[in-house]
Amino acid sequence: MNKTVEIQHLGLKDYKETWDYQESLFKSILDLKIRNRREELSLVTPNYLLMVEHPHVYTMGKSGKIEHLLLDEVQLEKRNATYYKINRGGDITYHGPGQLVGYPILDLDNFFTDIHKYLRFLEEVIILTLKEYGLNPERSEGETGVWLDVGTPFARKICAMGVRASRWVTMHGFALNVNANLGYFDNIIPCGIRGKAVTSLNVELGKREVSMKEVEEKILKHFSSIFEARLEASENGEV
């Protein structure tokens, strides 16, 4: 099993361009697995973790409903936002500057073949990261992601998650609000869940600007530990 994960720092990158890039990596791993099976080979499959921020964009998962987007095309343009119907699980969410997005493209045959466990591990990475900032993040039963004050009238989501998997290869991932403009969430029913708020790390810390690099370093540290993975930067640290 290959537990080396190549980290690629993409910076601020267009959502569709990143999605296409994810798909290319995802397909390359699938093709290699199919070849291994057909030709009875044992070629090593790679793993990747893309770290990125996106310009303002709304994405709708496979179980989403268009009425959960509260803007029409003209209103989207006024807000400099785009919209895509995509192939991950879940409903609608928002991505934008100040939000740290991670896309693990892993062959789970290199780790463990259990999607439920995989999602719980991703949540644990974020939970441990946020605890370093003195917060008390939690899971909310039946709702993927990471929350604060679960079970109270003040429950609020700080990290959304949605994945796709085929032949135990994953794509899509998590989106942690660090310094995000939360006003953009007012234009959707986040994750299709009515009556629950969204928050970000800087708001929880008294509206001080939080270092994206520092948060990313903590995420990578906990990702390596939880998945027992060896992290390697891409040749130039980015693509």
User: How much is the pLDDT for 188?
Assistant: 86
Total-model pTM: 0.94
Q: Is 35 annotated as a binding residue?
A: no
Q: Residues 146-172: pLDDT tens digits? A: 999 999 999 999 999 999 999 999 999
Backbone angles phi, psi at 169, to 5 degrees: -100, 135
Active site residue 159: no
Concatenating the DSSP letter of every residue in 19-85 gives: HHHHHHHHHHHHHHHHHHHHHT--PPPP-EEEEEE-SSEEEE-TT--GGGB---HHHHHHTT-EEEE
Q: Is 91 annotated as a binding residue?
A: yes
Domains of the chain: 4-233 (3.30.930.10)
Half-sphere exposure in the Cβ direction for 188 (13 Å, CA)? 26
Which residue among the candidates 81, 105, 176, 191 is catalytic per the annotation? 191
Q: Are 187 and 69 in contact (CB under 8 A)?
A: yes
Residue 63 pLDDT class (50, 70, 90 cuts)? confident
Q: Are 38 and 31 in contact (CB under 8 A)?
A: no
